[in-house]
Amino acid sequence: MSLLRNLRQITLLACCVLVAHPAAAHGDAKAAHGGIVQVAHDVNFELVSQADGATLYLVDHGKPLPSQGISGKLTILNKGQKAEADLKPAGDNKLVAAGVVLSPGAKVVAVLNNVAGRTVTVRFNVK
């Protein structure tokens, strides 16, 4: 009985490893615009610092995800200071947040509404 239970556990573990491996490949997403890339709900989010704020690019399975109809908020936490800005569609697959600064060491949280019909939270660490 113990041998059968061990065999089941090993089989279950092997299945988990096989299923988890393809999901890990999403973490290898490349930055097309020189920003920081995170993946949530199979969508790549690339956060790029701009002189007048920040731009967030959306890519779904290698194709630009239109930003029309998507809204949200960008929150930046840096050295005890908190800044927030609305994310607004800026054509194609871009959302922009005006007036924010992405300094090294900052933690950024983007909360987006209506990404494929759901609310998505994405976290970034600025290097």
Give the DSSP per-residue string, 32-72.
Answer: SSSSEEEEETTEEEEEEEETTEEEEEEEETTEE---TT-EE
Mean pLDDT split into 10-residue runs, the chain, 127 residues = 59 46 50 94 95 96 95 95 96 96 96 94 97
And the tokens for 63? Answer: 């194709």
The reported pLDDT for the residue numbered 29 is 73
Domain 30-125 falls in which CATH fold?
Answer: Immunoglobulin-like (2.60.40)
